[in-house]
Each structure stands twice: as C-alpha cells, then as structure tokens.
Amino acid sequence: MTYARSYHEEMRRFLDSMSESRLTETVTIPYAPKGAPTTLTVTEALTQGAMHSHYHRGQNATRLRELGGAPPTTDLIVWYWNGRKEPEWGG
C-alpha cells in the first residue's frame, strides 16, 4: 500500500509538470513487434499505459467474480458521479 500510494503521488507531480510540447515529443519502444511502429508520442505512450492498466483491471475483476467475490466498481463515470473523491488509503 505504501508503494502504491507513493506511486500515485509521484505520478501526479510528473503529470502536473508535463508541458504541452513534451506531450508531442516521441519515445522509442524497444520491444515493439517486428514490423510495428517503434515510436509513439508521449501522449500516445501515456494513453497506452492507462489502457493497458484497465485491461488488467478487467482481468482481475473477472477472476474475482469467478472466485465468488464482488470486485469494486472501476468505471470512471462512477468516480465522476461520486464527486471525484480522493482515495481512502486506510491503514
């Protein structure tokens, strides 16, 4: 939990410091499949990171249901409807 919390704080600082011009710069993807584009804009790379994370959230939710659990709601619109509350880290 401590690691996750520090990551979110660090990411918020990183994104707050990001300039518009930085978002249009390109980054090289060294592990791209042969024949695939090897460069993305920073915006595209950040979007990929978010989308990949959501994919795994869906996998985890599916597995929790298979095990009889009830996964938490992770739909962004629900967070908007609930007033965009800050996380409750507990512990």
Closest CA to 53 of 14, 22, 8: 8
What is the maximum alpha-carbon separation in the chain? 48
Helices then strands, counting H and E runs in the chain, come out as: 4, 2
DSSP 40-81: EEHHHHHHHHHHHHHHHHHHHHHHHHHTT--PPP--HHHHHH
Give me the tens of pLDDT residue by residue for the chain, a chain 91 residues long: 788 889 888 988 988 998 999 999 999 988 888 998 889 999 999 899 889 988 998 999 999 999 999 998 888 888 899 999 887 877 6
Q: What is the pTM of this model?
A: 0.65
